[in-house]
Amino acid sequence: MRREFIYPHRSVRSFPMSPGRVCFAVGMALVCSVTVFYFGTRLLDAHNRVSWFILKYTGVPTAEERTIEIFPRLGPVDVRDVPLPADRASPVRNGILFAVALSALIFCHRRFPLGRNFVIFLMILLCASGVVVLFVPSFDFNAVVYSQIWLRGEILVWLLLPWVSALLFVLTLPSMASGFLWSLLIECYVVFWSALRLAFCLGILHYTGILFLPLLWFVLGILFDLVIVLFFYSLALEQSIKGTMGGRRS
Amino acid sequence: MTFLIVACKVCLGFTITVLTVYAVRHYLFALYRISLRNSQDMMELVGFTTPSVSVLVPMRNEEKVAAHVLQALVDCDYDWNKLEVLAIDDRSADRTGEIIDQFAAKYPIVRAIHRSKGAGGKGAALRTASAQASGEILLLFDADYVPGRSMIKFLVAPFCDPEVGAVMGRVVPDNGGATLLAGLLELERSAGYQVGQQARFNLNLTPQFGGTVGGVRASVLKAVGGWNAESLTEDTDLTFRLLLQGWKVAYVNRAECYEEAPEKWQVRSRQIRRWAIGHTECFHDLWKAWIKGKFLSTAERIDGLFVLACYLTAPILVLGWLASLVLFFTPQAHRTAVFLVALPFVGYQLFGNQATFLELGSAALLDCNRRRIRLLPLSLLNFFASTGAICQALFNFYFGGIFRSGPHHWHKTVRYRDANGSVYRNGENGEFASKLLARSPNGVYFSR
């Protein structure tokens, strides 16, 4: 089919932002953030229920419910404790776990040159955790404290995410409607995905103790939210480019 | 323990502040560039001026790529009466000198310069060649670059303006599909030029002369003291000395030149370590003069400091990570339920880290580069890898004397252009060079 216009060279292309689009982006972010804040406690409850369901489905036992504070006006919410392994303080057990994890990381370090520094980052986390577990026995995390830290971080992510989405999707993508849909999709997805990650972390806590918790927190916490946003952003861009100025495949 | 917690919180606060400021800058550039209605591309000036041009191509052990760049240069549609190509063989141990001599014998505009003694490195080679160049404008290309036919016209166009001292073109990797790293670097280069350089140029900040795919007025170069042969990043050094003397640096987004991006992490690591040390050296040498610079606007002054200090953000980031790690293992830190403390921290993690990715995404959107954009989440690996390499380089820079690691050396970037899959990858290099030379004597693809 005949194109409507000649594509400009990439050096002079642009996607001008209309004031209406800026207003829409700000409005959308504001409404979403206020909604998350208003329904925050219920959202956290729903999130925790999904986590419990996953834990139950995968055979991880949960103990009694405990009520924790999140932030003023957000919470309190109920979380469930997860029993830790009985021999969690055993140096032999922790030593074996540490050695296995470190060996896996060393393998990755040698095998994937581009990921080396990321693996070193993980090694540092693991070693720090190992030192703390070995030399500071008083440092004893449990599932309740871990859930509290997790939920505090995640609720802030959910509150701020609409603004990030407004910037990445609504303001800069050629189609405002698709940008809006991507923003809604990512907000829903990130809540569900957080529940899944928390359940995974609590499962690891149940089977291996606290050795891997810092590593899991740093990797699967807010950093992973960033990766999810990037993943969605790359998908949205790919879709947008397909219909923009003869998007090339390479 | 209390002191440690306070120290870690201060470190974390400092890290967040510094990186947030950089993030705001990246957001500004990305949003400005993507919504730019009239970018300054200088194309309206093409043809207005045709000064005499000397193209300098420093080469050291570049037999794999020497023939390609020289052939591309003699094929350029610039008046041969006003063009000379100075091919500099900087003590090569391979066939580079031979290839250069063959081109010089075949094409009258190519002059061979063989360096066999003196200081090594690109800066020193450029110093030698600049002394022998006769053109009003000196254009520079690294040996692995392949300029398009109109490249020289595009690059000299901004010199219409007598205040323009240097010009920079756009670098585009042509081997983005070779490895994951090359693909990620294609995205990174695209963001750096399509968004970063163009936005800085349009905002009258400090677009950088990158030492290749660019040019400088010969008279201006002489006036500011020539190339700094001691510097590992002679291009950054020259950019800032030019700006300090009141000259403008122009960026021409349309002047696209194709390069070979590093395909292996070891090569990339060496490259980025060299840049980190060179840049930081420039920062220490020039920051005082920069702050006092009488020709600079406030915005230029601030942006220039951001550019000079950009590699220092890597160790600051690591400092912040370490502080976070200590705070994680400190139960007291978790009892702080202050919303106003947690919000900026999480906000920084989301917004701050997204800033560079918005630049990458915006550039891919403007370039309509659909395939590479799928790699965007993997850019995090590149980010971690670069952070580590920069930290290592800066550690050597600041503490190398203590550990006797010796002076910082200029490392030549490894070339890969010997496999199949590209127009320039169709045979043995020596054989390919001979084929290029066997074509018509007066330009390959057109007659003059």
| Shared-domain flag, residues B224 and B355 | no
**For residue B268, is it left (φ>0), alpha (ψ between -120 and 50) or beta?**
alpha
Q: Is the residue at B102 inside a domain?
A: yes
In this prediction, the answer to ipTM > 0.90 reads: no
pLDDT for res A10: 85
Work out the average pLDDT over A221-240.
91
Could you report the per-residue pLDDT of B57-98, keeping only the tens digit for each? 999 888 888 999 999 999 999 999 999 999 999 888 888 999
pLDDT for res B57: 94
Report residue B412's pLDDT band, with 50, 70 and 90 as the boundaries: low
User: What mean pLDDT value characterizes chain B?
Assistant: 85
Peptide bond into A113 cis (omega under 30): no
CB contact under 8 A, A71 and B337: yes
**Which residue of chain A has the CA closest to B194?**
A11
Selected for mutation to probe chain B from A3, A10, A212 (highest B CB count within 10 Å) is: A10
Work out the average pLDDT over B279-305.
93
Closest by alpha carbon to B187, among A228, A233, A16, A220?
A: A233
User: Domain of B203: which CATH number?
Assistant: 3.90.550.10
B328 touches chain A (CB under 8 A): yes
pLDDT for res A1: 61
Out of A13, A71, A114, closest to residue B381 by CB:
A114
Report residue B336's pLDDT band, with 50, 70 and 90 as the boundaries: low
Work out the average pLDDT over B238-261.
92
Report residue B158's pLDDT band, with 50, 70 and 90 as the boundaries: very high
Nearest CA distance, A149 vs chain B (angstrom): 7
Helix (H) or strand (E) holding B56: strand B53-59
Domain boundary among B268, B295, B322: B295
Nearest CA distance, A71 vs chain B (angstrom): 6
Length of chain B equals 448
Burial bucket for residue B161 (CB in 10 Å: 0-12, 13-18, 19+): middle
* Parent domain of B196: 38-295
Rounded-to-integer distance, Cα A191 and Cα A174, Å: 27
Q: How many CB pairs under 8 A join A and B?
A: 192
> With 50 as the cut, is the pLDDT of residue B423 above it?
no
B421 touches chain A (CB under 8 A): no
| Shared-domain flag, residues B321 and B224 | no
> With 50 as the cut, is the pLDDT of residue A165 above it?
yes
Q: Which of A182-191, B383-392, B398-407 has the lowest mean pLDDT?
A: B398-407
Nearest CA distance, A45 vs chain B (angstrom): 19
| Shared-domain flag, residues B318 and B394 | yes
Domain residue spans of chain A: 17-86+139-242, 90-136
| Shared-domain flag, residues B22 and B98 | no
| Shared-domain flag, residues B25 and B113 | no
CA atoms within 13 A on the CB side of B70: 35
User: Which residues in chain B have their CB less than 8 angstroms from residue A8's CB?
Assistant: none
| Shared-domain flag, residues B330 and B270 | no
Distances (CA, A) of A96 to A90, A91, B296, B387: 10, 8, 61, 31
Rounded-to-integer distance, Cα A179 and Cα A233, Å: 10
Rounded-to-integer distance, Cα B23 and Cα B160, Å: 35
Rounded-to-integer distance, Cα A170 and Cα A17, Å: 10
| Shared-domain flag, residues B290 and B166 | yes
3-state secondary structure of B48: coil
pLDDT for res B331: 66
pLDDT for res B40: 75
Number of independent structural domains in chain B: 2
> With 90 as the cut, is the pLDDT of residue A100 above it?
yes
Are the C-beta atoms of B226 and B147 separated by less than 8 Å?
no
What does residue B413 show for φ and ψ, rounded to 5 degrees? Answer: -80, 135
More confident residue, A136 or B399: B399
CA atoms within 13 A on the CB side of A248: 8
> With 60 as the cut, is the pLDDT of residue B422 above it?
no
pLDDT for res A93: 86
pLDDT for res B428: 39
| Shared-domain flag, residues B262 and B113 | yes
Rounded-to-integer distance, Cα B125 and Cα B131, Å: 10
pLDDT for res B447: 29
Work out the average pLDDT over A38-62.
92
Could you report the per-residue pLDDT of B160-180, keeping only the tens digit for each? 999 999 999 999 998 888 899
Are the C-beta atoms of B200 and B303 separated by less than 8 Å?
yes
Report residue A221's pLDDT band, with 50, 70 and 90 as the boundaries: confident
| Shared-domain flag, residues B269 and B320 | no
| Shared-domain flag, residues B121 and B176 | yes
Report residue B421's pLDDT band, with 50, 70 and 90 as the boundaries: very low
| Shared-domain flag, residues B71 and B24 | no
Q: What percent of chain A has pLDDT over 90?
A: 48
> With 90 as the cut, is the pLDDT of residue B45 above it?
no
Rounded-to-integer distance, Cα A245 and Cα B10, Å: 48
> With 50 as the cut, is the pLDDT of residue B35 above it?
yes
**Tokens at residue B38, please?**
């009239």
> With 90 as the cut, is the pLDDT of residue B335 above it?
no
B376 touches chain A (CB under 8 A): yes
| Shared-domain flag, residues B86 and B140 | yes
Closest by alpha carbon to B393, among B413, B409, B378, B381?
A: B409
> With 50 as the cut, is the pLDDT of residue B444 above it?
no
Work out the average pLDDT over B334-341.
61
Report residue B425's pLDDT band, with 50, 70 and 90 as the boundaries: very low
pLDDT for res A91: 82
> With 90 as the cut, is the pLDDT of residue B54 above it?
yes
Q: What is the CA radius of gyration of chain B?
A: 23
CB contact under 8 A, B385 and A171: no
Q: Is the residue at B238 inside a domain?
A: yes
Selected for mutation to probe chain A from B19, B340, B349, B390 (highest A CB count within 10 Å) is: B349
Helix (H) or strand (E) holding A59: none
Q: Is the residue at B415 inside a domain?
A: no
Beta-sheet strands, E only, within chain A: 65-68, 77-80
Rounded-to-integer distance, Cα B389 and Cα A116, Å: 10
Cα B229–chain centre separation: 17
Report residue B424's pLDDT band, with 50, 70 and 90 as the boundaries: very low
